[in-house]
Amino acid sequence: MIFHKQVGNGTKIVVGIHGWGGSVGTFLPLEDKIPESHMMINFDLPGYGKSTKPNHWNLESIIDDLAIELENLGHNTVDILGNCSGALMAILLSQSPKLNVNNLYLIDPFAESPWYFRIFINRLIGSYAYSITFQNPLGRIITNLSLIKNRQEDTDMTSSFRDIDKETSISYLRMLISLEGSSVMENINCKPTIINGKNTFKTAKQSVKYYQSIWPNLNQIILPDVGHLPLEENPQEISRIVFDSS
């Protein structure tokens, strides 16, 4: 079962895909900003929030299940908003033959993961490293403090991991890292927009060059005084970009 939250009653559909440590709650800052013309359908990815774990940790199957859910809801023509690692899921979803995607909004997508993420998928120490970093309160505090340059002062980048299932989190990370070096992101038939906070991670900034090389029609928007979490730090501007453009 894949849980979704529908907000608004408009005819223009925006599908929200959260990231590695998220849920439908990722898009709460946008809910009171959805115009009458729009509806958001936000998913808990399989294994997150109220959605059950998939039978197999296979990206192709998960993406197809999301597309089928949208089909069953009667929404084939959509825009997609993907946040962080959810941006990669959004790219893959946009390629589904079951959907007609007009606009693809990607918040801080990585073309390759930072080296330290690979520690968490190491068969020997990954599970332990994840536990002390994200499942331990002190570990979350220390990690959040270490990321001060990539966020606003009152933003917490690790609190959402408190309730995330470890197997789910590590499985998604492993699946997404497996895409690196492939050409799977190249063939899209929609209008892509990448949204970066000016103070985001260096890896996210460098990733834009890769996406520019494969998508000639790419539009990039840089938000000043914002880090890796634009949805929390400037939801007004995200709302303007997504809802005014579609």
Per-residue pLDDT tens for 36-85? Answer: 999 999 999 999 999 999 999 999 999 999 999 999 999 999 999 999 99
Task: Report the interhelical angle of 85-94 vs 166-177 (nearest 10°).
Answer: 60
Alpha-carbon distance of 21 to 158, in angstroms, equals 8
- Decide: 162 and 133 in contact? Cβ < 8 Å: no
Domains, the chain, ordered by start: 4-111+183-245 (3.40.50.1820)
pLDDT bucket at 114, cuts 50 / 70 / 90:
confident
Alpha-carbon distance of 228 to 225, in angstroms, equals 10
pLDDT bucket at 145, cuts 50 / 70 / 90:
very low
**Which helix or strand (DSSP H or E) is residue 186 part of?**
none
Cα 78 to chain centroid, rounded:
16
Per-residue pLDDT tens for 94-113? Answer: 999 999 999 999 999 988 88
Higher pLDDT, 243 or 129: 243
